[in-house]
């Protein structure tokens, strides 16, 4: 019985983590070109060209923008990949 309760608690914790929405926030910088940012958003975030262009413009004019939302693990992977391309990003 105790083993069943523990398994259920683990399942509930996993579902809660998956249902929480985390966001990757991309920040503006003076180094990367629009074309590079757009290319990275398409390759890493799976954006369509128009969506990547819109995100790049938001980042440029607002200083930052949410570029992807989802589970913590997925957002951490995306954030790491963006940072590996010398972009500035965080998970919130």
CATH code where residue 75 lies: 3.30.1390.10
55 is a domain residue: yes
Q: Is residue 29 part of a domain?
A: yes
Tell me whether residue 33 is in a domain. Answer: yes
DSSP state of 85: T
Does 6 reside within a domain?
no
pLDDT at 4 (0 to 100): 59
Under the banding of pLDDT at 50, 70 and 90, the label for residue 11 is low
Could you report the per-residue pLDDT of 20-79, keeping only the tens digit for each?
799 999 999 999 999 999 999 999 999 999 999 999 999 999 999 999 999 999 999 999
Say how far apart CA 91 and CA 89 lie, in whole Å. 7
Residue 30, token pair as written in the block: 């003076």
**What's the pLDDT score for residue 84?**
98
Entry pTM: 0.79
Which residues form the domain of 85? 22-91
| Tally of domains within the chain | 1
Question: Is 72 part of a structural domain of the chain?
Answer: yes
Flag whether 49 is in a domain. yes
């Amino acid at each position: 019985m105790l083993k069943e309760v523990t398994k259920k608690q683990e399942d509930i914790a996993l579902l809660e983590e998956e249902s929480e929405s985390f966001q990757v926030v991309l920040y503006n910088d003076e180094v990367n070109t629009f074309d590079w940012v757009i290319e990275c958003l398409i390759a890493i975030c799976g954006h369509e060209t128009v969506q990547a262009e819109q995100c790049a413009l938001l980042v440029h004019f607002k200083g930052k923008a949410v570029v992807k939302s989802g589970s913590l693990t997925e957002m951490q992977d995306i954030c790491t990949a963006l940072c590996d391309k010398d972009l500035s990003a965080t998970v919130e």
